[in-house]
Amino acid sequence: MKIIVDAMSGDNAPEEIVKGAVKARDELGVDIILVGKQEVVSSLLESTDKKGLEIVDARDVISMEDDPSTATRRKKDSSMAVALNLLKEGTGDAMISAGSTGALLTGATLTVKRIHGIRRAALAPVLPAGENGVMLIDCGANVDCTAEYLLQFAYMGSFYASKLMKCENPRVGLLNIGTEDTKGGELQHQAFELLSRASEEGRINFVGNVEGTGVFSGEADVIVSDGFSGNIMLKTAEGVIKYMMKELKGVFYASLKNKLAAGIMKSDLQAMKKSLDVNEVGGTALIGISRPVIKAHGSSNAASIFAAIRQAIEFYNSGIISDIENNIDYMKVKQE
């Protein structure tokens, strides 16, 4: 298997990107195609065994200041654009990038293309909750959604949760301002009806509306949302986690007694911190694209890139794309 890695995008590129890719080559047994400035990437591999590593030259880089809607078209020789073209051509089996989310999503949609019949690809991070986590789909790719988009998100999220999160008959919830069937605006009402119908047909396991407070309490395995609400949910959760970890650290350093308690609980605290660490997750899958694309965190270090490559391998081997293709007829709203 070959994984294409955008070596020049991200806050810590290219050093951490290359380091994580080499670690994946060594420990996961995959070949790696590093896309970026030949001389820069080569210099980082001077003392490394080159077996299983390939460099594809790309002279430009897409920055966060570039317009995401046109970036890959205007900068055709950027590491992201070249990597996406390699994926489209079948040179590699999956692709990861820590670059601009908007540019990657737009580039993947225009270059690699969506699965036939899918209206919009979605960003679907897995958040820490319970044993398997909870998927939030969509978290920002599609600000304006239709009920059909949300229906397709539910199917795609359900396939992902079943195959990669190991959830048997994953429970699908609709993010809303209340749990009652009548809550929400017109979009939520229409989506609720479509999701209920799909559940009655036995195609998904829809459990109804889920409030923000229920996202992390195990009420559902997949949370379906428009990208606007989902992004607010995601960013709020990230902020709360950072705040709580900071406050918890302050508590344990407040006195000698607390420091001793922290020492006793060290292994448990480290396990909790690890479960909330974005570097352990790796990245976010772009679900609905015809080939596996993983968006790594912008601040990814080597450990995060390694995890993103592992995620890309699992995504490729899971058969999710085939599941979506085989069920596409059920994921469309029939015109009356």
311 contact partners, CB below 8 Å, separation of at least 6: 281, 282, 283, 285, 294
Mean pLDDT of 170-182: 95
Mean pLDDT of 191-217: 95
When pLDDT is cut at 50, 70 and 90, the band that residue 109 belongs to is very high
Q: What is the reported pLDDT for 102? A: 92
Whether residue 336 has pLDDT greater than 60: no
Amino acid found at 205 = N
Closest listed residue to residue 34, CA positions, set 104, 97, 99: 97
Q: Which H or E run includes 2?
A: strand 2-6
Q: Which two tokens stand for residue 223?
A: 């949370």
Q: What is the reported pLDDT for 163? A: 92
DSSP 111: I
Mean pLDDT of 90-101: 96
Comparison of pLDDT for 128 and 219, the residue scoring more: 219
Mean pLDDT of 139-165: 94
Q: What percent of the chain has pLDDT over 70?
A: 95
Q: What is the mean pLDDT of the chain?
A: 91
Nearest-angstrom CA–CA distance, 280 and 303: 7
Q: What is the reported pLDDT for 247? A: 85
Mean pLDDT of 93-101: 96
Mean pLDDT of 42-64: 94
Residue 4's DSSP bridge partners are: 33, 95
Model pLDDT for residues 9-40, shown as the tens digit of each residue: 999 999 999 999 999 999 999 999 999 999 99
Q: What is the reported pLDDT for 253? A: 80
CA 6 to chain centre: 16
Give ∠ CA 68-69-72 in degrees, rounded to 5: 70
- Give the C-alpha distances (Å, rounded to integers) separating 118 from 83, 115, 134: 23, 6, 22
Mean pLDDT of 222-243: 90
Backbone CA torsion sign across 167, 172, 173, 175? positive
Nearest-angstrom CA–CA distance, 90 and 88: 5
For residues 172 and 207, is the Cβ–Cβ distance under 8 A? yes
Model pLDDT for residues 301-331, shown as the tens digit of each residue: 999 999 999 999 999 999 999 999 999 999 9
Q: What is the reported pLDDT for 273? A: 63
Residue 54, judged by CB atoms within 10 A of its CB (0-12, 13-18, 19+), counts as middle
Mean pLDDT of 226-254: 86
Whether residue 280 has pLDDT greater than 70: no
Comparison of pLDDT for 43 and 259, the residue scoring more: 43
Q: What is the reported pLDDT for 262? A: 76
